Amino acid sequence: MNNNRSKLNNTQALPWDNPRFRNWVALVRAEKAVVRELTRALAPLNLKLGQLDVLMNLYRHPGQSQHDLARRLLVGRSNITMLLPQLEKQGLLRRESDAQDKRIMRMHLTKAGEERLMEALAIYTALIDRVMDQSSVEECDQMGAIMRKITESLKDE
């Protein structure tokens, strides 16, 4: 093991000496801090992040099928299958049979679901504002452009 370490030191810099690595770690830590804070802030609403994702997507795209929702959220259908009954039990969404294909269930937010989503979005946007206030509009735009490039470069083809 000692030989491998000395070889790494002689032929390549350690990853943490590379600014790209250090900045990537900073990005990941920032994301984890935001997720931790948002999770804490949503707890009084009895909402988890995955549930918030579902509510936001159903608000923006009502009547989605479970398959479409899973694809939009980049998760497996089994993940969605676990979230939907929880949200139904809370009275936040309802499932209805598709008019053309009874095997497909279409999902819609209830009035209570829309109200809970609006409360959650107020919390979410306040957190985003708090975090992003540390940057200028130009820096925020640049950060967004870089994140979209990263996302695009890692897309499945």
Cα-based torsion angle of the residue sequence 118, 119, 125, 130 in order, rounded to the nearest 10 degrees: 170
Angle 74-49-24 from CA coordinates, rounded to 5° = 70
Fill in the DSSP letter of residue 6: H
122-139 confidence digits (pLDDT tens)? 999 999 999 999 999 999
Identify the band that residue 1 occupies on the pLDDT scale cut at 50, 70 and 90.
Answer: very low
Q: Which domains does the chain have, with CATH numbers?
A: 30-153 (1.10.10.10)
What's the mean pLDDT when you consider all of the chain?
A: 89
74-100 confidence digits (pLDDT tens)? 888 788 888 899 999 999 999 988 888
Phi-psi category of 95—alpha, beta or left, where left has phi over 0 and alpha has psi -120 to 50?
Answer: beta
Edge to edge, the sheet with strand 105-109 lists 64-65, 105-109, 93-97
Per-residue model confidence (pLDDT) at position 75: 86
Mean pLDDT on 21-46: 95
Residue 104 has pLDDT above 90, yes or no: no
